[in-house]
Amino acid sequence: MNILTNKIIKFLPILIFLIWTGCEDLDFPDPNNPTSETATIQSLVTGAEAQMRSGFGVWIRDLLVVGREAYYLEPADPRYTGELLHGPVDPGGFLCYTPWAANYKVISNCQTILNSPEADAGAKGFAQTVNAYCLMRILAMTDENGARLNYDGDITQTVATKTEVLAEIENLLNLGLANLNASEDCDDNTPGKQFCFTLSDGFSGFDTPETFAHFNRGLMARVSVLQDKWAQAQEALTSIDAWMNGGDHDAGVYHVFSSAANDADNQMFEDPNAATLKLMVHPSFLTDADPGDLRVSSNVVERAETVTYDGLTTNLAPTLYNSIYDPVPMMRAVELQLLQAEVHVGNGDYASAESIMNSIRSAAGATEYTGTDATNAVDRVLHEKRYSLFLEGHRLVDMRHYNKTEQLPLDRTDTDSPDKIVTFPIPETETPG
């Protein structure tokens, strides 16, 4: 009897709960799949920031290897020296899928923000800007293969063309700017004074609606230059002149890392003095450099031993980062300066382009250019971007833009699978059937 009584007593709270809830569904939110009803704006913003770093290591290595900026010598996975250098890239493999999925998870967070009744203009402006940024990252890989503009998971919908994706990026950035300009402070309704959420230290100096709009315009300048829209690019650059010409080439927006629990680390860092390295610099970075250029000596070390793996040879180790917690740039002032030089070249103003490039070269200890004209201006801008934006993933995109990918070095041409410049396919998970 005592045993039966104890069982009834133990079961009684559960019975009462079941009677209380009746036949109603028990609906608990899934923390791994936030919706506009289950997640706060702060959690969605924080999640978007964190997710931008997820898959970043694969994404940046993809661009660096295909763009012949670096090798990734990973004996456990020969795809880095196989698929990426001579193709074809497996649409079902992680080199293709991981960056795609990571960026679309960020975009999903952004779409959830936009659909949230709690999102004010500042939150929407943030979401639209970051959405555009992630589409740019995807297009850096897929290029003419395009990307998806529908974010509902319906793979039967047509993949957008490169032109359509670029147009959507512009649209998102303009919508984002309008929202950022219309935002009001949470406390006193002062326009653009403060977001109603907190950003990481990576956005220090760009963490209010007004200053985050500068990042938005920097992205507009980048996407405009890629389309030879010189007037549009100039308008964007003029609006952020204080950032561009503020005297600090490194001022900008960054991915940040830390040793905190559940935080990420900088996957670009490797000890240049370690016995073995995976990430190593393409030898052409040294052979193509100008004498005395500090952008080489401060970012690369020549190791005593030359590494040869899978027919690839180099002794150059990157020293761009000093620890696994060093920040990685999304956009810096020096990029804006070089975009401005590109705009001048596009407009035929070679003297102004030369002046900007020489200012950068002088700071780097390199001899200044003379006689910049139509015959050499583009190559000079590309050279400066290559050395000022080292290992930031711009070179492949830039060489495609000017139809110069044939100038990228092909190290293995006498094999059964000769090297070539590949383009990433749409992942097979995004292809019906």
Low-confidence ranges of the chain (pLDDT < 50): 1-32, 36
Q: Which of 148, 296, 165 is nearest to 226 (CA)?
A: 165
| pLDDT of 154 | 87
315: left (phi over 0), alpha (psi -120 to 50) or beta: alpha
| pLDDT of 34 | 53
Q: Which of 114, 56, 23, 111 is nearest to 256 (CA)?
A: 56
The domain segmentation of the chain, as residue ranges, is 41-268+325-412
Residue-wise pLDDT tens digits, 250-309 = 999 999 999 888 889 999 999 999 999 999 999 999 999 999 999 999 999 999 999 999
Contact 202, 327 (CB under 8 A): yes
End-to-end Cα spacing for the chain: 63
Query: Residue 191 and residue 182: Cα distance in Å, rounded?
Result: 7
Q: Who contacts 295 (Cβ-Cβ below 8 Å, separation ≥6)?
A: 289, 364, 366, 387, 388, 390
The pTM (predicted TM-score) of the whole model is 0.91
| pLDDT of 27 | 34
Query: Residue 153 and residue 308: Cα distance in Å, rounded?
Result: 43
| pLDDT of 90 | 97
Q: Which of 277, 285, 313 is nearest to 395 (CA)?
A: 285
Longest dimension (CA), the chain: 103
Which DSSP string corresponds to 49-87? HHHHHTTHHHHHHHHHHHTTSEEE--TT-GGGTTHHHH-
| Phi, psi (degrees; rounded to nearest 5) at 126 | -60, -50
Collapse the DSSP code of 304 into the 3-class scheme (helix H, G, I; strand E, B; otherwise coil) and give the result: strand
Q: How many CB atoms lie within 10 A of CB 190?
A: 11
| pLDDT of 5 | 41
Contact 311, 85 (CB under 8 A): no
Query: Residue 65 and residue 282: Cα distance in Å, rounded?
Result: 9
Looking at the chain, the whole-number percentage of residues with pLDDT higher than 90 is 85
Contact 270, 240 (CB under 8 A): no
Residue-wise pLDDT tens digits, 158-195 = 999 999 999 999 999 999 999 999 998 887 777 778 99
What b-and-e string marks burial along 10-43, b requiring 16 or more CB atoms within 10 Å of the CB?
A: eeeeeeeeeeeeeeeeeeeeeeeebebeebebee
| pLDDT of 38 | 55
Collapse the DSSP code of 111 into the 3-class scheme (helix H, G, I; strand E, B; otherwise coil) and give the result: helix
Query: Residue 229 and residue 401: Cα distance in Å, rounded?
Result: 12
Whether omega before 409 lies within 30 degrees of 0, making that bond cis, reads no
Q: Which of 83, 82, 94, 81 is nearest to 54 (CA)?
A: 94
What fold characterizes domain 41-268+325-412? Answer: 1.25.40
Residues shown for the chain: 433
